[in-house]
Structure 1
């Protein structure tokens, strides 16, 4: 069984976003242009043998509801054995954000919170995040975020693992933090922070197997790294089959490969429950 911990089913609003322009250049126009049925996302998963996908909502400042929590909830409702939801919230309204996260997790079964710092122009040490971190701990769900440079034409500073991830892990040692996009060009920093903090993890979204940084692959072959790295795609920017192509070339031990593709995600996102069994 394989679990994709970072993907989104793109709405027309999401696909029309100006920040996708640079990603379209990188992918040679592979990112779709128009509205897609949810079945197309399931087809991408099926071709690659991906059983479960964590669908993320996308919320930014000034009402940028690019993929709404309601839309994610509906896709999960329609395909409850294939999808689980990651909530997005409005950082500018902290108490509304806390209540939204609480409702989505408790009432609708969402399994975590995702905030993309570059979309807000605010690193995770910004004070607006801190009530959400406390609520994640109380709810028993991870905080998911982006690390590394910013592919879209936005400043990359918000994606530095040091100081930002290191500092929030010190302030909230009980908070599970899943850092997507491997942290490049600060991958060594990301690995160091992951080694240092018990509840910090890395997901490989936005990178194909053949493009994973050597530092990360080396880490995945260690005892600590084998239980700390989770598979992700960033679909639809990278299709599932493309993301997994070349996995055998990494020469991961069988137990490490199983942990990477399934076991770590099932443990970290415990609220997936029976889906990941």
Structure 2
């Protein structure tokens, strides 16, 4: 391992303070060498004091930029701010993905603009658009950028990102020098014939990202959430075919080896730290990955900051 921090935790300590200790209370006649209640409480106190405290302190020492987060209403912007503060997340790029009509999309973007104003030191805006409304989408990108938004995101499944309808959207992002982040899927039915899709048929799979990135190598295109569910190993193998693509590390799935494989296939320079509102696991999967200190700092902060720098939106 390169630089994985040792917090004094091991399998035996974990078991004696969690599942095994609980089982021992009801199965003391079945299991041998089960810690006593006093021993378990003592170990649990040590675990809490020396383990979690060390983890939190280690996590907070790294500046972080969250490339994928959400504010679902004006009222929970304060909760985003609080969660980021607890884990040392300097700023979070937030969106409200969705809206069936142009007016709904605009209203959702207005909520993000208000969240940016109410929490200017924490929340960065991601503009949501639907490429089915071409003129309105382009106008909305311009409006959102004029109001201080730093990128597009999280765009969804109205059309695949490789569809020609996305060409003018990507070209407008290139003009504004801003990134574009779109929801990526790798569930079996969406990329292998003969299986029932579990996401809408227009969801973008890794091949779609590769196609658009190779068409527009100057664009800053981000595939959303390696941990969003599905075959993240397949995602890593395919995305390496487009060297200008970026992948964010968010999602509720945090399998062991996920970040390590992404680094192996894509390189640390192409990974962007993100939570998608899964704050603890989002930070934890980077802390516990087998990374050098230099790579951990790149993923947590520097890579995304360098993308934002192109339009002057970087964090100081």
TM value normalised by structure 2: 0.68
1:92 alignment partner in structure 2:
132
Q: Which residue of 2 aligns with 1:230?
A: 272
Conserved 8 A contact 2:250-2:276: yes
**Does the alignment pair 1:203 with 2:203?**
no
- SS of the aligned residue for 2:120 comes to coil
- Can you give the 5+ residue segments of structure 2 that lack an aligned partner in the other structure? 1-62, 188-197
Residue 158 of structure 1 aligns to a residue whose secondary structure is coil
**Maintained 8 Å contact 2:150/2:313:** no
Question: What is the CA–CA distance in structure 1 between the aligned matches of 2:175 and 2:241, rounded to whole Å?
Answer: 23
Q: 1:165 offset after TM fit, Å?
A: 0.8
**Matched residue, 1:50:** 89
CA distance in 2, matches of 1:204, 1:135: 26
Q: In the superposition, relative to structure 1, how do residues 257 and 125 fare at CA in structure 2: closer, same or farther (>3 Å)?
A: same
The residue aligned with 1:25 is none
Using a 3 Å threshold, how does the CA distance of structure 1 residues 197 and 149 change in structure 2: closer, same or farther? closer
Matched, 1:220 2:263: yes
Structure 1 pair 255–87 and aligned structure 2 pair: CA distance change class (3 A): same
Q: Residue by residue, what CA displacement relative to the aligned partner does 1:31-54 show, whole Å, maximum 9, x if unpaired?
A: xxxx84422111111111111000
User: What is the Cα deviation at residue 247 of structure 1?
Assistant: 3.8
1:137 aligns with 2:180: no
In the TM superposition, residue 173 of structure 1 has moved relative to its aligned partner by 1.6
| Deviation readout 1:123-182 (Å, 9 max, x if unpaired) | 1122322111110111111111111247xx6436623101x1111112212111111111
Question: Is residue 2:203 matched to residue 1:158?
Answer: yes
Please give the alpha-carbon distance, in whole angstroms, between the structure 1 residues aligned to 2:163 and 2:238. Answer: 19
Q: Quote the residue 1:255 is aligned against.
A: 294
Return the offset for 1:61. Answer: 2.9
Mapped partners of 1:181, 1:84: distance in 2: 18
Contact 1:113/1:144 (<8 A) preserved = yes
Aligned length: 243
For residue 194 of structure 1, report the CA deviation from its aligned partner: 3.8
User: Which structure has the higher relative contact order (CA within 8 Å, separation 6+)?
Assistant: 1
1:83 Cα deviation (Å)? 1.4
Whether contact under 8 Å (1:227, 1:259) holds in the other structure is: yes
Q: Map 1:1-277; keep pairs closer than 5 Å.
A: 1-11=63-73, 36-62=75-101, 65=105, 68-105=108-145, 107-118=146-157, 120=158, 122-149=159-186, 154-155=199-200, 158-162=203-207, 164-182=208-226, 185-207=230-252, 211-212=254-255, 214=257, 216-220=259-263, 225-235=267-277, 238=278, 240-245=279-284, 247-270=286-309, 273=312, 276-277=315-316
Contact 2:65 2:91 in 1 (8 A): yes
Task: Give me the whole-angstrom Cα distance separating, in 1, the residues matched to 2:119 and 2:286.
Answer: 28
TM-score, normalised with respect to structure 1: 0.77
Larger Rg: 2
Unaligned runs of 5+ in 1: 12-34
In the alignment, the residues of structure 1 paired with residue 295 and residue 138 of structure 2 have an alpha-carbon distance, to the nearest angstrom, of 36
Distance 1:65 1:10 in 2: 13
2:256, 2:204 → 1: CA distance?
Answer: 17
CA deviation after TM superposition for structure 1 residue 72, in Å: 0.7
**Tell me, what secondary structure is at the counterpart of 1:59?**
coil
